[in-house]
Amino acid sequence: MTFSQMPYERVDLEQYEKLINDIIKRFESAKSAPEQLDLHMEMTDLMKKFGTMRSIAYIRHTLNTQDSTYSAEQDYYDENGPKFVKLFMDYYKRLVSSPFRKELEKELSSLVFEKIELQLKGFDERIVPYMQEEGKLTTAYAKLIASAEFEIDGKKVNLPMLGFYMQHPDREVRKTAFKKRTEFFMEHSQELDDLYDKLVKVRTSMAKELNMENFVPLGYIFMERTDYDKDMVANFRKQVKEYLVPLATKLHEKRRKMLGLDSLTFIDEPLFFKEGNPAPKGTPEQIFEYGKKMYSELSPETKEFFEYMLDRELFDVLSKKGKASGGYCDFLPLYKAPFIFANFNGTSGDIDVLTHECGHAFEAYLTKDMKIYEQTSIGMETAEIHSMSMEFFTAPWMHYFFADETDRYLYMHLASALMFIPYGCLVDEFQHIVYEKPEITPAQRKELWRELEAQYKPHLNYEDDPFFGKGGAWQRQTHIYERPFYYIDYCLAQTCALQFKIKMEQDFKAAWNSYLELCKKGGTLKFTELIKEAGLESPFEDGCIKNLVKSIEGLIEAYEKKL
């Protein structure tokens, strides 16, 4: 069955309430662990149906935010999603308090119970109205960003397509593209401020209802972080400031010289080479043919996976009017099918998407038959290791896409990975301060962003840009609005992926086998346990970033020599 053929049916709240209450009633009167396990599987089927239908609605809505049918479905889940969560939590309360818990833990695992108890800690019926409001606000933000339309080069383009012009080798073209982006954000400045102000207030109110000091601990619960806290994350950011920011600053300076500029400004940020960044050769159809060849040669598992994705049309990657911004991978449990959403724009980012989102989808494909549904759920920091490492594991096949520009692409990709981590930490520290001080004004938030930018990106020069130069750059980062605290995950994962990169330079096959085992484990272990088993150093340990910088500097210099 292809994605377009998958039937959609709105999940009826009243019907689910009856079904789940019936399961709860039978669960409470069950006389044995096996009886309760059978009921848990019944419950799992309901959860899978809900997850699948909600995801189909979300995917089809983001494919065309102007489609009134799926826009209405998205509104339905924004409004009723928290009510479904309440029903699931009602069942989970009975599961964790079962008199047969020890026997159930043997079948379902103690980690599943630990994760459920964490979810229960972050939920109460009193916060349902706040969750509903949050859903409406994040959907409003997504629609606002998707509505952006620009006239450039005689064409009408959306925000992702504008990215093509923002890395154009002609500086005047770049300048025009950046100016148009600034004008859009300036025009909607008040709306962006209001939306975020409301989101901060709603999330803070949620936390207060649960007797928490602020939203930070609740945000960590929502991200299902069971084995690290904000102090450990702060220690990671401290290491990044000390060891990685200086390396990133050096790389920016090398880029300035390669571009032949007296000074590097924000309109030069996307560009690495004077004659332009390496771009993939061929049409999207040809790119997928190269992708098929690449994944068929990488391993038997990736060959089978990629053919599965193509046969079922589980990709939608072309940018078009009304399509939401960004890229993601979702999973449809009823059909055991990952789905990849992206916005190709003719840049090297198209290939990064093909490798990055396929890393997510590959892990989902490998774990699609897991009996315990809860074990397919993984922390986002773990999920991003799968995706970011896949970007590196596919490096030997980049010549299919970039031909004579392959060496330049590989250098740019590695340098970008290193330069990204400070930015990701900036996003994270900004959010911690905002939610610890929810009373600060929109203007103060922008001042805070500029202060942190000076610490994490000291090279940055905005040329007096009236929006981004005044601390507004964070408002284009969808995660800050839509998924609070989901950004440090990329940094932690990139740190692990770079370790895989170092390992694969020494022994590609051994590194791949370690990665494959990591993917197959799904959510059966905690993040820190998974990376330990994969032979990776924890990003939270003192010395991790220092060691990484030491190892990677030689590698990036070797790449540089091939330019």
Burial class (CB in 10 A: 0-12, 13-18, 19+), 560: middle
Listed by start position, the domains of the chain span 3-137
What one-letter code names the amino acid at 279?
Answer: A
What one-letter code names the amino acid at 218?
Answer: L
SS (H, E, C) 150-188: EEECCEEECHHHHHHHHCCCCHHHHHHHHHHHHHHHHHC
Please name which of 459, 456, 381 lies closest in space to residue 422, comparing C-alpha atoms.
456
d(CA 244, CA 55): 37
A 10 A CB-CB count for 325 gives: 18
**pLDDT tens per residue across all 563 residues of the chain:** 999 999 999 999 999 999 999 999 999 999 999 999 999 999 999 999 999 999 999 999 999 999 999 999 999 999 999 999 999 999 999 999 999 999 999 999 999 999 999 999 999 999 999 999 999 999 999 999 999 999 999 999 999 899 999 999 999 999 999 999 999 999 999 999 999 999 999 999 999 999 999 999 999 999 999 899 999 999 999 999 999 999 999 999 999 999 999 999 999 999 999 999 999 998 988 999 999 999 999 999 999 999 999 999 999 998 888 899 888 999 999 999 999 999 888 889 899 888 999 999 999 999 999 999 999 999 999 999 999 999 999 999 999 999 999 999 999 999 999 999 999 999 999 999 999 999 999 999 999 999 999 999 999 999 989 999 999 999 999 999 999 999 999 999 999 999 999 999 999 999 999 999 999 999 999 999 999 999 999 999 999 999 999 999 999 999 999 99
d(CA 539, CA 548): 10
d(CA 314, CA 293): 18
Yes or no: say if 217 and 206 are a contact pair by the CB < 8 Å rule: no
Residue 28: phi and psi, rounded to 5, are -70, -30
Burial class (CB in 10 A: 0-12, 13-18, 19+), 441: exposed
Q: What is the pTM of this model?
A: 0.94
What one-letter code names the amino acid at 298?
Answer: L
